[in-house]
Amino acid sequence: MPPVIMNRRVDPGIPIHLASISRAALVQGIDSSGQQLHVGSPQRSGNVGQQVETILDQQRSLVVVLYSERGHQVRIRSVHFEAFKSLYDFTTDLDDLTVITGANGSGKSNLVDGLVFISNAYSHGLELAVSHGGGYENLAHRRTRRAKRPIRLTVEVELASEEVAEGLRYSGRRNRARDDDKTRSSAPPLIVRHDFAFRAVSQTLTADFEVTQESLAVLNMDGRILATIVRGGDGRITVKRVDDSQSNADLLDDILFLYERDGLLAEVKPDPSDLIVGKAFFIDIFGQVSRFLASIRVFQLSPHTSRLPGVASPRAQLELHGENLPGAADFLRRNHNEAWTNVESAMRTIMPTLEGVSIAYTEDRRISVQFRERGVGRPWNSSEVSDGTIQAFALLVAIFDPRASILVIEELENALHPWILRQLLQICQESPRQILLTSHSPVLLTAVPPGSVNLMWLEEGRSQIAQLATMDSEIADQVLDGEITIFELLDSGAVEQSLPRGLG
């Protein structure tokens, strides 16, 4: 694992960035002079990018506060799938950095497909998400009869106080005076849980599908449900306040103001193949969750595809395999100066002789990427640089694009030199968004915090997942402490579930 700071002398009031330390890292051993900092071993969590801030009190001793530097305003807590491909009854938590490994055929790509499905369902609607996934038959669990068990998904999203306040600012009651500054500072963080299921109406391949259940729940951070919006079997939508305490009355008044109005939900009754999130929600906390989940971006980048010319457009984005990399880079250059500066700076770290990256027109009136190198008379075209250079550039454009809420990158290590891979991993750990990586790379699995690595495997056609470091209880502490690396654990064969078994 990457080294952590040990026995480092610090000055009072100076922040110490600890990019490789997890959320549950232990801070220990401040000496009597208040000048020496000891950081303990990382524990379970992938929440990297921590900061230790030292504060001098009246007794001239140091108070040490550990908090997350990354400060996600909205984040996925967990996702749950039922009867979705090999994810028959599957739940996983998502940390700031989550790494998934496992034998071929264990379901890693199916998990990625599940996140793509969620993004498509929120951005384009359930019907188009099913279509993009190859149709209901290709989404349903292979060993389940087509109309027997519905496909079900549950997503839990956490909103920080600031995001809740922003939602209340536009959606709350208008018949009473509101102090937006007060609301912004006093709004509690909340969890929104969206649960829905759908299935084919018959066993014929041409049969339609329909939503069989759907609910939205608002929870406090302890997991207690405050209110629900439920779609019944007949399609009717009901709103229920589960928590009737006076302390939450004003909060629920604001959250449910639009949905408790007579006849409103009846007017926007969704079709049997639609979700209510696509019909009934406005600029409020539910709308924030919907937009966040619609912005999940998945990448399986190919150097060959990333080299191809692109087109400039008002909102050009990098596509799945690296399509339109020049257009996405040009968008950042023109619209997000800080992101583009970060991309160029990171590229100079990887290529010390690089002077800059520019966008040029091709003969057929498209655009391409060029790399200017110190001491070389003309720029290098994307077709002339190495696979590793173009792959690294595509990854940096993906990582620094501020429009993505969550990044899912399959096999980050492809075409990359180990040193460059470590630099990119450091950038991932410091990213302001959640990142999920799938990988078999010994370099990657050794470089990330052990607690961030999860193993997937298949049992009777059903994918399972667990934190890899703790699967062998006899050596779990040694793995978490870094005495045994994750790759050494895998290579030893000590974890039986990590070994290849069959075709699925």
As a whole number, mean pLDDT of residues 350-357 equals 94
pLDDT of residue 237: 84
As a whole number, mean pLDDT of residues 475-491 equals 89
233-271 pLDDT, tens per residue? 777 888 999 988 888 898 998 888 878 776 666 566 778
Query: Residue 173 — pLDDT band, cuts 50, 70, 90?
Result: low
Greater pLDDT, 135 or 36: 135
Phi, psi for 30 (deg, rounded to 5): -70, 125
Q: H-type helices in 146-282, by residue range?
A: 161-171, 180-186, 249-255, 264-267
CA dist 232 and 270 (Å) reads 12
pLDDT of residue 184: 47
CA dist 306 and 339 (Å) reads 19
Query: Residue 68 — pLDDT band, cuts 50, 70, 90?
Result: very low
Q: Which residues of 356-382 are buried (b: 16+ CB within 10 A; e: fewer)?
A: ebebeeeeeeebbbbbeeeeeeebbeb
Strand partners, 201: none
* CB of 296 closer than 8 Å to CB of 119: yes
In what order do the strands lie in the sheet containing 453-459?
A: 296-299, 406-410, 434-438, 97-102, 453-459, 462-467
Indicate the helix (H) or strand (E) that contains 418: helix 418-429
**Confidence check: pLDDT of 461 > 60:** yes
Cα 43–48–53 angle (5° rounding)? Answer: 95
Greater pLDDT, 160 or 171: 160
* CB of 285 closer than 8 Å to CB of 194: no
In what order do the strands lie in the sheet containing 87-93?
A: 87-93, 74-84, 151-159, 190-200, 209-219, 225-231, 237-241
How does strand 406-410 pair with strand 434-438?
parallel
The letter for the amino acid at 497 is Q
Phi, psi for 211 (deg, rounded to 5): -75, 125
Structural tokens at position 244: 């009737």
Q: In 3D, which of 183, 195, 303, 323 has the Cα closest to residue 253?
A: 183
> Where on the phi/psi map is residue 314: left (φ > 0), alpha (ψ -120 to 50), or beta?
alpha
Running DSSP on this structure, what letter comes out for residue 364? Answer: T
Query: Residue 28 — pLDDT band, cuts 50, 70, 90?
Result: very low
**Confidence check: pLDDT of 361 > 90:** yes
CA dist 397 and 212 (Å) reads 40
pLDDT of residue 421: 96
Strand partners, 310: 367
Structural tokens at position 447: 């470089």
* CB of 432 closer than 8 Å to CB of 342: no
74-87 pLDDT, tens per residue? 999 999 999 999 99
Alpha carbon of residue 396 to chain centroid: 16
pLDDT of residue 27: 33
Q: In 3D, which of 407, 410, 468, 464 has the Cα closest to residue 438?
A: 410
Alpha carbon of residue 501 to chain centroid: 29
201-223 pLDDT, tens per residue? 766 666 688 999 999 999 999 99
User: CB neighbours (10 Å) of residue 412?
Assistant: 22
Q: H-type helices in 133-221, by residue range?
A: 136-139, 161-171, 180-186
CA dist 118 and 253 (Å) reads 29
CA dist 360 and 369 (Å) reads 6
Average pLDDT over the chain reads: 81
- DSSP three-state, residue 249: helix
Greater pLDDT, 284 or 447: 447
Please name each of the domains of the chain with its CATH number.
8-68 (no CATH), 74-95+107-114+126-292 (no CATH), 297-353+384-498 (3.40.50)
> What proportion of the chain, given as a percentage, has pLDDT over 90?
60
pTM exceeds 0.85, yes or no: no
Q: In 3D, which of 468, 462, 460, 389 has the Cα closest to residue 423?
A: 389
Indicate the helix (H) or strand (E) that contains 268: none
* CB of 395 closer than 8 Å to CB of 421: no
CA dist 79 and 436 (Å) reads 13
Contact partners, residue 372, CB within 8 Å, separation at least 6: 354, 355, 356, 357, 358, 379, 380
How does strand 97-102 pair with strand 434-438?
parallel
The letter for the amino acid at 48 is V
CA dist 406 and 493 (Å) reads 32
CA dist 240 and 493 (Å) reads 51
Residue with tokens 């400060």: 71
